[in-house]
Amino acid sequence: MFGFLNIYKPQGKTSHDVVAVLRRVTKIKQIGHTGTLDPFAEGVLPICIGKATRLIEYLNDDKAYIGTVQFGKTTTTYDTEGEIVKTSNKKISLIDIENCLPQFRGEIQQLPPIYSAIKVKGKKLYEYARNGEEVEIQPRSVNIHKLEIIDFDEENQTLQLHIECSKGTYIRSIAHDLGENLGCGGHLIKLVRTKAGKFELNKAVNLDELQTIEQVKSKLIYPLDYLDYNKYELNSDEKEKVSHGMAININSKDGTVILTQNNELIAVAEVENNKAKISKVFI
């Protein structure tokens, strides 16, 4: 079995839970996801099965979310799963939020939450946090392509945002930092990932629809449709060379290229000066 699945991950389950279910159904160990989605969150979770796991690095990593922020309370985890550490009676307005959002758009420096899986000195941040150990966290550069208000409930001080961003962006940190900048504190109370690369929420499959290996096969996405790279059609001689990992000369611009034959994925190569050096072979 070879391909991608567009899975809807429900709130309360981990990304590893989803993988475990699919391994049990398919009896295939070689299954992976393209990026962890917190148990607190729900939405799109791209899954790779079989040799498709070797394509994870070539998939578009940009994400889209709908996040709901509760102002007036700050938590240790920046979401509902943490302990409340600070409260505020300050009420903010829609204009306050609109004036604050521009500094969160574009390329920004973001400090990840202490309760996250990022490793520092070989140890995950949440392990330091749970042990009460202090650790220096370095800010990371992320890109917020779009940050728009969907709805603001001024009475309840809740804000719903549409966010499109690069890989590695923490929406929890946006909620926390927005609350800090507004002087009232804030944390994330709901998060839905609506898009991950070409995987979209409205096409996602619920796990309960995948009870048999036949059902899994029926939902498989062939990788060629989701790889945003130039494609080169091999002739028979070229395919023979590529199948043995041999470089070939092709007419293509420099960079990653997908080598195919009759709409079948044969290999991924890196082209430089019209010479394609084979990175991964799939036959």
Catalytic amino acids? 38
DSSP state at residue 221: B
Name 228's Cβ contacts closer than 8 Å, sequence gap at least 6: 60, 198
Determine the Cα–Cα distance for residues 148 and 187; give it in Å rounded to an integer. 17
List, in sequence order, the alpha helices (H) in 107-244.
125-130, 171-182, 213-219, 236-243
Determine the Cα–Cα distance for residues 187 and 174; give it in Å rounded to an integer. 9
Going across the sheet that includes 248-249, the strands are 230-233, 255-261, 264-272, 275-281, 248-249
Determine the Cα–Cα distance for residues 219 and 29; give it in Å rounded to an integer. 18
Determine the Cα–Cα distance for residues 169 and 107; give it in Å rounded to an integer. 11
Burial of 130 (0-12, 13-18, 19+ CB in 10 A): exposed
Do residues 216 and 88 make contact, with C-beta atoms less than 8 angstroms apart? no
Determine the Cα–Cα distance for residues 191 and 69; give it in Å rounded to an integer. 9
What would the DSSP string read from start to end of 48-107? EEGGGGGGGGGS---EEEEEEEEETEEESSSBTTS-EEEE------HHHHHHHGGGGSEE
